[in-house]
Amino acid sequence: MKIVIRAGAGKQSGGAARKAAMHRIVGRWLYFKTDQPEICEMPSIRRTTSAARCCALFRLAALLLLFGFAASSLAQTPVTLQLKWRHGFQFAGYYAAEAQGYYRDAGLSVRFEEAHPGLDVVGQVVSGKAEFGVGSNGLLIARKKGRPVVALAVIFQHSPLVYIARRQSAVQSIHDLVGKRVMIEPGAEELLAYLRMERIPVDRLHRVEHSFSPQDLIDGKVDVISAYSSNESFYLDAARLEYAVFTPRSAGIDFYGDNRPLAAHCRNLCRDRHAAAGLRFQPFFVLTGPERPA
């Protein structure tokens, strides 16, 4: 390989000699780094300055970009999602959305607040203790009474609220609840509407305060309980208890389940971001489990 160095013609001055010496040094270095003959020149001061300036601008742009990402990750809007019950599978979509970073991507830092028996989810939202909630169809009644709430979204196409009764005969019907010990949870308006649709006066039931324990039905302490068809039936099956299920859908009462109330005064706060992030994982979780959907 031959390296050709361009140098000025004729006798060289001291400055030109130094420049020629520098060219020779660079030429030797290129000799070991280059596989093909090249004509090499020393970069001009103008080109060197321009390259340095471009490099500095590139570094500045990269720093600004990183700063922007850091700022966006830190600027998370804190919100509280008030659940309607203790942590459980019915809220799995929310947990998955949090674990997969969907809320973070939407600029939200979500805190999940457990409920306890008798908690008024709508009251928590209206009072500002929670920005969002997971409620029941009682939201319709709350809205009619003037409470400033709106339904942001619904999770279940059909309400899972049903009556579960200890099986007593093969022809058992909803009318057999008359005179029985029945536990009906607060906020179960569609179950009360079911009784009215079937012309069963509530005062003809022996109402018992709900313990929220299917064990009371297993042990025979009560005859009927209001329950989620997706939850309590699991425990009854495990206990090998024979039972009958009565759903309001059989009487044409078909509400959504687990709606998400939002206070009307803060509906523009981050409604769209929360809805999009929370619902993004819901259709996949039950089908695929905790793995991230493709």
- pLDDT tens readout for residues 65-96: 554 544 444 568 888 989 988 888 788 888 88
CATH number at residue 127: 3.40.190.10
Q: Do 41 and 174 belong together in one domain? A: no
Alpha-helical (H) ranges within the chain are 14-33, 45-74, 92-99, 102-105, 121-126, 138-144, 189-197, 215-218, 232-238, 271-280, 282-288
Residues 6 or more apart in contact with residue 243 via CB below 8 angstroms: 164, 165, 166, 167, 217, 233, 236
Q: Is residue 1 part of a domain?
A: no
* Structural domain harbouring 150: 76-157+256-288
Q: Do 227 and 195 belong together in one domain? A: yes
Q: What is the arithmetic mean of pLDDT over 170-191?
A: 90
Q: Do 197 and 65 belong together in one domain? A: no
pLDDT class for 143, splitting at 50, 70, 90? Answer: confident
**CA-based radius of gyration for the chain:** 36
Q: What is the arithmetic mean of pLDDT over 142-168?
A: 86
Q: Do 66 and 94 belong together in one domain? A: no
pLDDT class for 178, splitting at 50, 70, 90? Answer: very high
d(CA 36, CA 113): 70
Number of helical H runs and strand E runs in the chain: 11, 12
pTM of the model: 0.61
What is the percent of the chain where pLDDT is above 90? 27
Q: Do 167 and 247 belong together in one domain? A: yes
Number of domains in the chain: 3
Q: Do 133 and 269 belong together in one domain? A: yes
* Closest alpha carbon to 180 in 195, 170, 193, 190: 195
Query: Per-residue pLDDT tens for 24-72?
Result: 654 554 444 444 444 444 445 455 456 556 555 556 555 555 545 444 4
Q: Is residue 185 part of a domain?
A: yes
d(CA 241, CA 219): 10
Burial 139-166 (b: 16+ CB within 10 A, else e): beebbeeebebeebbbbbeebbbbbbbb
Question: What is the structure's pLDDT at 217?
Answer: 96
Q: Is residue 169 part of a domain?
A: yes
Q: What is the arithmetic mean of pLDDT over 218-223?
A: 95
Question: What is the structure's pLDDT at 186?
Answer: 85
Domain boundary among 73, 96, 120: 73
Q: Is residue 63 helix, strand or coil?
A: helix
Q: Do 146 and 221 belong together in one domain? A: no
Question: What is the structure's pLDDT at 70?
Answer: 46
Question: What is the structure's pLDDT at 216?
Answer: 95
